[in-house]
Structure 1
Amino acid sequence: MDVGPAPNACPLCRMTDQTQPVPGIVSSQTAYASAYSRGYRAYGTSSSALAQMLSLPAARPPRGLVTAGWILTLLGVPLAALFVLVSLSAHHSSSHPAPMWASVMAPLLMTLPLWLSGLICRGIGYVRMSAFRRGAPLREKAWQVWSTARYCFRDHVVFLPHGAHAPAQFARSLIFDTAQHALTGSHTPIRS
């Protein structure tokens, strides 16, 4: 009576003696260190090439552009308003024949690089943040798939419980493709 391969068996060699869970490999082959340097605490990590191939990138929200955009806008708009007020008050106190619109436009154009780049950074940042939020279900599913993945040292393949497998350098593609298929409701297993 053939009962099939063992649950943690590699789909290529059908053996379990050289397989390990992917999260365990990444954890055991990654070192974390901290040290003091010039009065500051420095942190660092070091991973083996295999751990780097098998790990999933940590998702970080793209907040930098939004923050920079707010800073530039909050600096540029009051500065432009101050320049406009100074220019208007100087225009009223002199009999200079320059038109009123020049007194308003000159300060706005002088501060344009500051506040306009702030608005552009904020716009791009909000678009990236929105895309980051939309990708949350895929990232969550990918972490679930990744936690079930195993690696066979004999055949140098990553494999999933349903039998899909790929060489270690394509582990991320296998995991994200499987997660995408699970989210879209596709019931056909991915085979390499």
Structure 2
Amino acid sequence: MTKRLVVFLRGINVGGNRTVAMPALRSLVEELGYTDVATYINSGNLVVGTTRAAAAVTRELEQVFADTYGFPIPVMSRTPRALRHVLEANPFPEGDPKQVTVGFVAGRVPAGAAERIAALATPEERFELRAGEVFVDFAGGLGRSKLAAALDKAVGAPVTARNVRTVEKVLALAEG
């Protein structure tokens, strides 16, 4: 049975580097046999229809993207149900949805992440860790945040971050 899967790509189309055109990405993924392929904005938010498990999709897409684009693109996949739970678990619902960010981690959040994040966070940057996500309220803005610039290093694993507003839009696309 075909199910929808949300796929977040890390580190593409940022500052003109590692450019991946969304129409070409959609075509590539469709050629692999995925159905109902859709993208949301130009920052690596993909929704696909598949009969395969999320882990298998993640492995396949990482390999195909590396072969096609010539650089690694970490992939974090979530089912719409899991994404709905992520949004419901937002510990900062009163925060600005453009500043409250969900960092999707490849695998589980490693031990020691809380201490490393706390060492970089400013007093107004609140954070909370979950098994596979890191929530951060960048209340002072992302632009000058040392934590935002080094979130992967602080977590100790590949992370791709999206603000809550984007997560809501991608979930709506997946459920639509």
Quickly name the TM-score band, shorter chain normalised: under 0.3
Task: Give the structure with the larger strand fraction.
Answer: 2
Q: Per residue, is there more helix in 1 or in 2?
A: 1
Structure of higher CA gyration radius? 1
TM-score by length of 2: 0.18
Give the TM-score taking structure 1 as reference length.
0.17
